[in-house]
Structure 1
Amino acid sequence: MRDPVHLVAFGFGSGLSPWAPGTFGTLIAIPIVLFVMQFGFAAHLGFAIFAALFGIYVCGESARRLGVHDHPGIVWDEIAGFAVTMLTVPANVYWVLAGFALFRLFDIWKPWPIREADHRLSGGLGIMLDDVIAGIFAAAILLGVRNIL
């Protein structure tokens, strides 16, 4: 964790959890995303785009240095994916819990095209894209529910 690339890629240490590092990475994303949401939709969207693009580099570089593609401890992709998930809803406990559950569901289940992105792409783009797509799926469901309510 002395290396800044690994520090960020491993979600400031949350990815070091011996069990469910992706879940812990998403948990660390909650306060980060809630903080960003305070500054409005444009800031949130900007952060989500930055997190995804920066994540291509940082996750890819961390994986390269470790010699393991998509090491389980690399969780910056979960942080970016959760930021995408929360783009369509307000910051309150119910939406955060729903967003967390849906994002983790899609990230673990990996339905098409998430599975395709996960298996066919390598490097940082392959690490990031499946979580961004999982975030888009979760955000779409949250938006649908929000529009019904």
Structure 2
Amino acid sequence: MTQNKHDVPKAPARLILTTWEHFLAYGFGSGLAPTAPGTFGTLVGLPFWFLLHWLTPEPALYIAACFALFVFGCWICGESARLLGLHDAPGIVFDEIVGFLITCIPLLYLPVGMAEWPWLIAAFVLFRFFDIIKPWPIRWLDRKVHGGFGIMIDDVLAGVFAALCLYGALHVLNK
């Protein structure tokens, strides 16, 4: 039987702070939020957006960094889940951080002078929408694919769906 993410007991905070794998997988502690840990994990993605955008001004470098974070996330989330003995604990939110960064890829193409904050808010809302609703094939992947890759892939795909919507809105509004 597949374990529902919401049926999984939350790990105690003291355990999460015992290893760096848990600390990173739990989004620097944001995954310990008593309600909506995925939303709090996504919020941690905001400073990462600014840092990554500043460090990798070229879109190709930003996308490569997102891919590297995805690969790292497969390992770190899988390791944290293994140490906890759980498939996808609700507090493991590194996947939300990476999914949000993927959602923000279209923002790399904002015209000079266009306000960034409204688009970041739109990116946040769109990512959370797709991550929570999980349209096909996201829900299928969430249920059928396990391990670190399984933890990461549904949020990466939610990020891709949200990025496509964001790109469409930017394209329409920038004509």
Q: Distance in 1 between matches of 2:86 and 2:146?
A: 11
Q: Name the residue aligned to 1:17.
A: 33
Q: Which residue of 1 aligns with 2:92?
A: 74
Equivalent residue, structure 1, for 2:171: 147
Q: Larger C-alpha radius of gyration, 1 or 2?
A: 2
TM-score by length of 2: 0.82
Deviations 1:17-73 (A, max 9, x none): 011000000001111112111231233212211111111100011001001110001
User: Aligned residues, how many?
Assistant: 149
Task: Say if 2:49 is the partner of 1:33.
Answer: yes
TM-score scaled by length of structure 1: 0.96
Alpha-carbon distance in structure 2 between the residues aligned to 1:43 and 1:79:
18
Distance in 2 (CA, whole Å) between partners of 1:67 and 1:6 is 12
Where structure 1 has 5 or more consecutive residues not aligned to the other structure, the ranges are none
What RMSD, in angstroms, separates the aligned Cα atoms of the two structures? Answer: 1.1
Answer yes or no: is the 8 Å Cα contact 1:37–1:43 preserved in 2. Answer: no
Identity, in percent, stands at 49
Structure 1: which 4+ aligned runs deviate by more than 2 Å?
none
Residue number in structure 2 paired with 1:112: 136
Aligned to 2:113: none
SS at match of 1:89: helix
Candidates 137, 142, 148, aligned match of 2:161:
137
Which residue identity lines up with residue 138 of structure 1 in the other structure? A
- Higher helix residue share: 1
5+ residue gaps, structure 2: 1-16, 111-115
Q: CA deviation at 1:2?
A: 2.9
